[in-house]
Structure 1
Amino acid sequence: MENLGIYFILFIAFIIFILSFFTIKQQTAGIVERFGKFHSIRGAGLHLKIPVIDKIAGRLNLKIQQLDVLIETKTKENVFVKIKVSVQFKVIPEKVYEAFYKLEFPHDQITSYVFDVVRAEVPKLRLDDVFERKDDIAIAVKRELNEAMSTYGYDIINTLITDIDPDPQVKNAMNRINAADREKSAAEYEAEAQRIRIVAKAKAEAESKRLQGQGIADQRREIARGLVESVDILNNVGINSQEASALIVVTQHYDTLQAVGSETKSNLIMMPNSPHAATDMLTNMTASFMASNQLMQQNKEEDKKKKKEEKKPEIIVPENYDEDETEQKEKTQDKNNRKSNK
């Protein structure tokens, strides 16, 4: 019996010895209480406590933690949106006592402050501004949380707006607006490209017409020089200008017919097309020139007559002019002149 009592005492002593030691993990703080009163804060490692008298009241995680808060609120134009805010925070090592004893549910406290700030900031903004100024909202949340939670031993590392989800109907309307805006931009770019192509084509055609006209002018000038030289050569051999012109017209007529006949797929018809066509053409041209010259001469004569009539002085007749009395005086004057001459 005595041996059993000794063994029992040794067993109890071993249990007390084992319970006197405890360990704290890395990035964790242990709170030790003695008789229910705060005694000390223990860091990572192996520690000794008095069994039964001392107890570990709790352990605080010193790592950075994240809390996701989903909030439903409305914007300035009464559009309801769901905003997801991620809050990254940690316990300040120097304020473990405040974090453990002053705040029982830190997650609920942080959630309440996030709701309060977001529902105060978002209703001031339009939906588009909420997307554009989400960083400003996150900064406002962080500032408010830091002011409130630093008293309880918590440090707010960062706040992030990770999601903004409008009502499905509003989202579809926004997508349609964006699609219409992009279609409008595409139409404007296509119209501008079409305008550039049309302008470039018009410039090319204008340049082509200019060069074509210049070529035709050069061609006609050379033809005229050749005709003058041909007429001069024919005049030197005793052929007058009229005969030379007829010869040249006949030659060009038959050259044209030969050129047309050489084309196998041509459907061109020269009218008139008879052996005397060249002579008739020359006669008609000469008659036209003569008629034109006569008409021009007649017009000049009529212009001269009009100018002469415009230059004649206007005879002004007095208001008290008596035609019979004037004729009687003229007759009397003529008789006197005759008598004096006799």
Structure 2
Amino acid sequence: MSALNIFSQVVLAIFAIYLTFKFLQALRLVPNQYAHIVERLGNYHKTLGPGFHALIPFVDKVVYKQDLREETIEVEPQECFTKDNVKVEVDGVLYLSVVDPVNASYGITNYRYAAVQLAQTTTRSVIGLLDLDETFEERAKMSKKVVEVLGDVERLWGIRVHRYEIKNINTPRTVQKAMERQMTAERERRAVIAKSEGVRDSNVNDAQGRRAEMVNISEAEMQRRINEAEGWANEIEAIAEATAVSIEQIADAISQPKGKEAMKLQLKQKYLKVLDGLGKDENQIILPKDITNYDSLIEGLSLEQLDEVEDTPKK
């Protein structure tokens, strides 16, 4: 076998292997959530979805493979200046996915890089409109603004930006120290205010307690006096009722036969009882001219008057 024949066989073998490889390349198995862009003779032909596909060798070619799943793209830290000329360093995370594989392939050379650059420029623009204190409070506003700006190019780039989250906002060490001093002063101010409010509330509670105590004491004293007055009134009423009953009984007794004689006898007994205590040393008395003639003495006295004479010592 000559060298030419050997060379020809080797070339034919290589060509056969090449043809086999090309035919194998024409058979495509596309995974789920992927899309393959096929060009025919250099022009866009079709988009292959998930499944098995057969292409024409040497005519059809898969030029782009797009992943349709949501991607997480790191936005590198960048220096920005706030409205009050403070330099901060901001980074974030971008979440997007391909919704139109054709535009994502032909609408822009690299949609990932373009989305990151647009997110960075939008972040710088938004931070430039805010003061330093507002940048820490307006993270949601900045994220929303980046999503809105990227939403304007979604159709052209064939992507959809789901959200953008700012991870860190770093400030220079000098600014951090100033902010720490400010936060310390703010906490001390709040502590003083809280302490003063506590003292004020305590004083108010004490005053309210003293007032309630004074009200309770005055109401108790008022109730005590009312009860005493009611007791006195009841006592006077009872005495008056008893006196009235006694008078009625005496009047009934006098109106009975021999009632006057019995009345005079009782008066004489009381008169004699009064005279029984005249000899005591502690009594100082003024006697009538004739104490033995008690008929004339008791003529004008009533039974109640003799009771008063008997109960009240003469001094």
Per the alignment, residue 30 of structure 1 pairs with: 36
- Of 62, 65, 68, which aligns to 2:74? 68
**Correspondence 1:79 to 2:79:** no
Change (3 A) 1:17 1:172: same
1:171 and 1:91 map into 2 onto residues whose CA distance is: 40
Report Cα offsets for 1:150-192 as digits up to 9, x if no partner.
Answer: 2121122222223222222222222222222122221222233
- Of 6, 19, 26, which aligns to 1:20? 26
Report Cα offsets for 1:101-151 as digits up to 9, x if no partner.
Answer: 221121221122222222222111111112222222222211111112421
1:130 and 1:89 map into 2 onto residues whose CA distance is: 24
2:209 and 2:40 map into 1 onto residues whose CA distance is: 100
- Of 40, 46, 67, which aligns to 1:40? 46
Unaligned runs of 5+ in 2: 2-8, 218-280, 284-315
Per the alignment, residue 89 of structure 1 pairs with: 96
Runs (4+) of structure 1 exceeding 4 A deviation are: 11-17, 195-208
2:207 and 2:126 map into 1 onto residues whose CA distance is: 58
2:155 and 2:136 map into 1 onto residues whose CA distance is: 29
Look up the equivalent residue of 1:171 and give its one-letter code. Q
Deviation at 1:23, TM superposition (A): 1.3
Q: How many residues align?
A: 214
Report Cα offsets for 1:300-334 as digits up to 9, x if no partner.
Answer: xxxxxxxxxxxxxxxxxxxxxxxxxxxxxxxxxxx
1:162 and 1:89 map into 2 onto residues whose CA distance is: 17
Per the alignment, residue 277 of structure 1 pairs with: none
- Where 1:131 maps in the other structure, the secondary structure is helix
Look up the equivalent residue of 1:190 and give its one-letter code. K
Q: Which has the higher helix share?
A: 1
Alignment of 1:184-333 (within 5 A): 184-197=189-202
- Of 131, 134, 140, which aligns to 2:136? 131
- Where 2:153 maps in the other structure, the secondary structure is helix
1:79 and 1:237 map into 2 onto residues whose CA distance is: 111
Change (3 A) 1:237 1:186: farther
- Where 1:68 maps in the other structure, the secondary structure is strand
- Of 178, 184, 191, which aligns to 2:183? 178
Look up the equivalent residue of 2:159 and give its one-letter code. Y
Change (3 A) 1:15 1:180: closer
Change (3 A) 1:19 1:169: same
- Where 1:124 maps in the other structure, the secondary structure is coil
Per the alignment, residue 164 of structure 2 pairs with: 159
Deviation at 1:61, TM superposition (A): 0.9
- Of 122, 127, 136, which aligns to 1:117? 122
Change (3 A) 1:195 1:67: same
**Correspondence 1:52 to 2:62:** no
Report Cα offsets for 1:53-96 as digits up to 9, x if no partner.
Answer: 3222120111111222233201111111122232211111xx32
Change (3 A) 1:96 1:184: same
Deviation at 1:201, TM superposition (A): 6.1
- Where 1:57 maps in the other structure, the secondary structure is strand
Structure 2 contact 95–162 (Cα < 8 Å) conserved: yes
CA RMSD in angstroms comes to 3.8
Structure 2 contact 136–169 (Cα < 8 Å) conserved: yes
Look up the equivalent residue of 1:23 and give its one-letter code. L
2:50 and 2:145 map into 1 onto residues whose CA distance is: 35
Unaligned runs of 5+ in 1: 212-235, 239-342
Per the alignment, residue 148 of structure 1 pairs with: 153
Deviation at 1:42, TM superposition (A): 0.5
Change (3 A) 1:40 1:201: closer
Report Cα offsets for 1:14-68 as digits up to 9, x if no partner.
Answer: 6555343121111111112223332221111111112233222120111111222
Report Cα offsets for 1:265-302 as digits up to 9, x if no partner.
Answer: xxxxxxxxxxxxxxxxxxxxxxxxxxxxxxxxxxxxxx
1:79 and 1:134 map into 2 onto residues whose CA distance is: 17
1:126 and 1:149 map into 2 onto residues whose CA distance is: 30
Percent of matched pairs sharing the same residue: 26
Look up the equivalent residue of 1:77 and give its one-letter code. D
Look up the equivalent residue of 1:55 and give its one-letter code. K
TM-score by length of 1: 0.53
- Where 2:135 maps in the other structure, the secondary structure is helix
1:25 and 1:88 map into 2 onto residues whose CA distance is: 22
- Where 1:52 maps in the other structure, the secondary structure is coil
1:144 and 1:113 map into 2 onto residues whose CA distance is: 8
